[in-house]
């Protein structure tokens, strides 16, 4: 078999794999579905007078970015969607007006994601 024929077969095989899985990048990314995010701050059910807070969590191995959402008062009865942001780092500082909020974060990469981990914060 000629070299060009082998090369053509290889290209066709790679195209089939890419079509089946979306991209080669997804095949090389670690699976995040069973990983957990350890939230560092603020602690769950925090009641504070500080309107500016830093939301922090430990990095997750294999994560390319983190999706952070903040709502008021809670996710099952949203009155106000405050933010839905993606970050490559594990810190986010935000100023909230007085009220009750829930916030959640998940880790993602090209092939998978963790579940959201949710906490509550009250600004007085």
| Mean predicted confidence (pLDDT) in 93-107 | 98
92 - beta bridge partners?
55
pLDDT reported for residue 28: 74
What is the Cα Rg of the chain in Å? 21
DSSP state, residue 114: P
Q: Whose CA is closest to 91, among 34, 44, 53, 51?
A: 53
CA 58 – CA 40 distance, rounded (Å)? 7
pLDDT reported for residue 5: 67
> From 3.40.1350.10, 1.10.1740.10, 2.60.40.10, 1.10.1040.10, which CATH number describes the 31-123 domain?
2.60.40.10
Confidence of residue 4 (pLDDT cuts 50, 70, 90): low
CA 47 – CA 29 distance, rounded (Å)? 38
Provide the residue ranges of all domains of the chain, joining segments of one domain with +: 1-30, 31-123
| Mean predicted confidence (pLDDT) in 66-77 | 97
pLDDT reported for residue 29: 84
How many of the other CB atoms lie within 10 Å of CB of 119?
Answer: 18
> Residue 41's Cα: distance from chain center in Å?
16
Angle ∠(34,57,75) on CA atoms, nearest 5: 75
pTM of the model: 0.77
Q: Are 18 and 110 in contact (CB under 8 A)?
A: no
Residue 2 has pLDDT above 80, yes or no: no
For the stretch 16-69, pLDDT in tens is 656 555 555 545 789 999 999 999 999 999 999 999 999 999 999 999 999 999
């Amino acid at each position: 078999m000629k070299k060009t024929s082998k090369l053509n077969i290889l290209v066709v095989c790679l195209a089939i794999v890419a079509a089946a899985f979306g991209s080669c990048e997804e095949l090389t990314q670690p699976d995040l579905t069973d990983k957990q995010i350890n939230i560092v701050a603020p602690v769950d059910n925090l009641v504070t007078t500080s309107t500016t807070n830093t939301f922090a969590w430990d990095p997750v191995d294999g994560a390319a970015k983190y999706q952070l959402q903040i709502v008021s008062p809670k996710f099952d009865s949203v009155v106000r969607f405050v933010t839905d942001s993606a970050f490559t780092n594990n810190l986010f500082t935000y100023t909230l007006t007085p009220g009750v909020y829930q916030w959640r974060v998940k880790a993602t990469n090209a092939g998978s994601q963790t579940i959201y981990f949710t906490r509550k914060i009250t600004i007085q």
